Amino acid sequence: MKGYLHLENGSSFEGEIDLGSDFKVTGEIVFFTGMTGYQEVLTDPSYQNQIVVFTFPLIGNYGINESDNESIRPQIKGAVFYECCSAYSHYEAKSSLKEYLKKWGIPFIEHVDTRAVVKQIRESGSMKAEFSTSKEKTTQHLIQEDIYQVSSDAIETYGQGKTHLVLVDFGYKKSIVTCLTKRGCRVTIVPIDNIDRIAQMQPDGIILSNGPGNPERYTYALSKINRVITKYPTLGICLGHQLVALSFGAKTKKLHFGHRGANHPVTDLKTNQVFITSQNHSYEVIANSLKPTDLIVRFSHINDESVEGVCHKTYPILTTQFHPEAHPGPTESEWIFDEFLNLVAVSKGDMLYA
């Protein structure tokens, strides 16, 4: 049946929806530019509350498998496709993308002119949107509270290595844990509300995870976060990077339409090397706001010179706005985990990490 995507800036697009006639979904509309990696995007908790426009025109062609989930369920609010492929083909595929979205009740609209939608987002910025079978715009109802269900309830441990890391969970991606356990680490996942219990766990280092929403909503926890990260070697990833910066007094702001894709070029200002990164964020750390702090910009985005990571002048703290764990996207920045584990090993007094 015909469906309509309505954006907060007043523009509307026609497509096709195959859910019941009363249904309507609202959320913040963002776009992801990767040609592949849709399963990782759907299941990345950082996308909670967002309607994702996939810019590649054919999505779903290798189906859904059992290994590419970044969390236990799809997290996006809705999806917009040009074409969502039913005739998938891959030896590991267990179902089609459409079947998977329907099973979890995630609405999607297809046969939408996604290029035209993205032009609107690039002009007006990320904004509220809704799609439904109604031709009528109800954009005045789109301004809604951002409600996120993040962070696991329980403390869980993965891996058995000698190096013990605590991952503070704001909605972490599974691949971050995989990158650490495959390097011989034991990783304890700690919900943000249990941050006071970290010292009892005697970690060798801390990871602040990725997560959805505006980093400023964690303002209440910044002093606790700062206490922990100035005690142990710390790696901050995406939201975790933003929280490190905020906890030292820097500021964040919203990007016009965010960085979401698998081909974002970043320079390491320490070595002048450039690498291609996987990204998914709406907010950035304001470079100037770092000046009065002891944080130094370590990584910079080539396209817009936004801050892509920092390190601290004295503490063993390293952060990335991009995703070194990739999934989706290129794995060429995975060495960040090795550099961080080097910091951990040095601070433990061990030999340098191999």
Ligand X SMILES: NC(=O)CC[C@H](N)C(=O)O
167-206 binders of ligand X (CB under 6 A) = none
238 assigned to active site: yes
Nearer to ligand X by Cβ, of 205 and 212: the residue is: 212
- Find the binder of ligand X among 55, 139, 210, 333 (CB under 6 A): 210
136 assigned to active site: no
- Rounded to the nearest angstrom, the gap between the alpha carbon of residue 157 and the centroid of all alpha carbons in its chain is 22
- Find the binder of ligand X among 133, 151, 234, 280 (CB under 6 A): 280
Nearer to ligand X by Cβ, of 80 and 238: the residue is: 238
Q: Which of 84, 179, 238, 311 is catalytic?
A: 238
DSSP-derived secondary structure letter, 110: B
Q: Check the annotation: does 159 bind a ligand.
A: no
CB-based burial, 241-266: b 16+ in 10 Å, e otherwise: bbbbbbbbebebeebebbbbbbebeb
Q: Using the rule CB under 6 A, is 329 a contact of ligand X?
A: no
Q: Using the rule CB under 6 A, is 247 a contact of ligand X?
A: no
Q: Check the annotation: does 211 bind a ligand.
A: yes
- Give CA–CA dist 153/151, Å, rounded: 6
Stretch that binds ligand X, among 35-43, 142-150, 280-288, 330-338 (CB under 6 A): 280-288
Neighbouring CB atoms inside 10 A of 339's CB total: 15
Q: Check the annotation: does 19 bind a ligand.
A: no
Nearer to ligand X by Cβ, of 194 and 210: the residue is: 210
Tokens 């269900």 sit on residue: 149
84 assigned to active site: no
* Helix segments in 60-161, DSSP class H: 97-103, 114-124
- Give CA–CA dist 51/117, Å, rounded: 12
Stretch that binds ligand X, among 109-117, 209-217, 223-231, 270-278 (CB under 6 A): 209-217
- In 3-state terms the chain splits into helix, strand, coil percentages (rounded to 5) of 25, 35, 40
Q: Check the annotation: does 242 bind a ligand.
A: yes
Q: Check the annotation: does 213 bind a ligand.
A: yes
Q: Using the rule CB under 6 A, is 281 a contact of ligand X?
A: yes
Q: Using the rule CB under 6 A, is 75 a contact of ligand X?
A: no
Nearer to ligand X by Cβ, of 246 and 345: the residue is: 246
- Rounded to the nearest angstrom, the gap between the alpha carbon of residue 323 and the centroid of all alpha carbons in its chain is 8
Upstream peptide bond of 328 is cis (omega within 30 degrees of 0): yes
The tokens describing 238, both together, are 């995406």
Nearer to ligand X by Cβ, of 216 and 339: the residue is: 216
Q: Give ∠ CA 127-282-234 in degrees, rounded to 5.
A: 155
- Find the binder of ligand X among 26, 46, 247, 319 (CB under 6 A): 46
How many residues at the interface with ligand X, by CB under 6 A? Answer: 11
- Give CA–CA dist 336/172, Å, rounded: 17
* Nearest one of 235, 226, 225, 231 to 179, comparing CA atoms: 235
- Find the binder of ligand X among 213, 233, 309, 316 (CB under 6 A): 213
Q: Which residues are annotated as a binding site for L-glutamine?
A: 46, 211, 213, 239, 242, 280, 283
Interface residues toward ligand X, by CB under 6 A: 46, 210-213, 238-239, 280-283
Q: Which residues are annotated as a binding site?
A: 46, 211, 213, 239, 242, 280, 283
Q: Which residues are the active-site residues? A: 238, 323, 325
